[in-house]
Amino acid sequence: MPRHANTRGRIIQAASKLFYAEGIGRVSVDAIAEKAGITKRTLYYHFESKDDLVAAYLDARDQPNLKLMASWFAGAEGGAAEKVAAIFASLARNARHPKWKGCGFLRTTAELAALPGHPAVKIGARHKSAFASWLADELELAGYNNPQALARQILLLLDGAFSASLVHRDASWFEEAGHAAHALVNGHPRKHEDQQSQA
């Protein structure tokens, strides 16, 4: 790996740990440079501003988080309802870790609520949309009607569980939301059901 890319990666890794643990507002550029083992000047060589670094932090979380959700879904036994519930169960396990601080995308967006055009906010929106789009594709393959709407409803439960579990410091909110998501998927009409009703 080129030295330039390696240094940039170290900066993002250091920023990610600090931003996730403490929030973007409480972390200074000096603290990130110190944790990365570089000078502040070197940091600014790779990132024009702290805003650029915040965006890079979320961008680095995007694909790994989506792949992790997909792996939980794919690895679960049963139908779509059980696979969706497995995502919530896995998040409940993660939320019981002492270093868990909630959804980095939601927390960052909340901190930047007055700046809707901020690149990090756009990355957060893209991440949530990508999750809903991926899940809609899976639900369509499973034969569900209007999979886009169903996926968005599940995302609402997911983000609600992220918020409630963080506010209450109680991972069981993910489990309750998982039960609701399971029931939601089970009760949603499927294409073959429509065909049988028309027969």
Domain assignment of residue 154, yes or no: yes
Q: How confident is the model at residue 195 (pLDDT cuts 50, 70, 90)?
A: low
* Statement to judge: residues 83 and 174 lie in one domain: yes
Domain assignment of residue 54, yes or no: no
Which pLDDT does position 121 carry in this prediction? 97
CATH label of the domain that carries residue 21: 1.10.10.60
Region 12-33 average pLDDT: 97
Domain assignment of residue 52, yes or no: no
Domain assignment of residue 157, yes or no: yes
* Statement to judge: residues 71 and 37 lie in one domain: no
Tens digits of residue pLDDT in 111-135:
999 999 999 999 999 999 999 999 9
* Statement to judge: residues 40 and 76 lie in one domain: no
Quick one: what percent of the chain has pLDDT higher than 90? Answer: 93
- CA–CA distance, 56 with 7 (Å, rounded to integer): 14
Which pLDDT does position 191 carry in this prediction? 84
* Statement to judge: residues 41 and 133 lie in one domain: no
* Statement to judge: residues 92 and 16 lie in one domain: no
Which pLDDT does position 95 carry in this prediction? 97
* Statement to judge: residues 43 and 64 lie in one domain: no
Which pLDDT does position 134 carry in this prediction? 98
Domain assignment of residue 98, yes or no: yes
Which pLDDT does position 41 carry in this prediction? 96
* Statement to judge: residues 102 and 31 lie in one domain: no
Q: Count up the domains in the chain and report the number.
A: 2
Enumerate residues 6+ apart whose C-beta is below 8 A from 73. 83, 84, 86, 87, 135, 138
- Does residue 23 have a pLDDT over 60? yes
* Statement to judge: residues 176 and 84 lie in one domain: yes
Q: How confident is the model at residue 198 (pLDDT cuts 50, 70, 90)?
A: very low
* Statement to judge: residues 64 and 40 lie in one domain: no
Region 53-59 average pLDDT: 97
- Does residue 54 have a pLDDT over 60? yes
- Does residue 2 have a pLDDT over 60? no
* Statement to judge: residues 114 and 148 lie in one domain: yes
Domain assignment of residue 186, yes or no: yes
* Statement to judge: residues 32 and 101 lie in one domain: no
Tens digits of residue pLDDT in 33-45:
999 999 999 999 9
Tens digits of residue pLDDT in 65-105:
999 999 999 999 999 999 999 999 999 999 999 999 999 99
Domain assignment of residue 53, yes or no: no
- Does residue 5 have a pLDDT over 70? no
Residue 93 domain boundaries: 60-198
* Statement to judge: residues 185 and 115 lie in one domain: yes
Averaged pLDDT of the chain: 94
CATH label of the domain that carries residue 156: 1.10.357.10
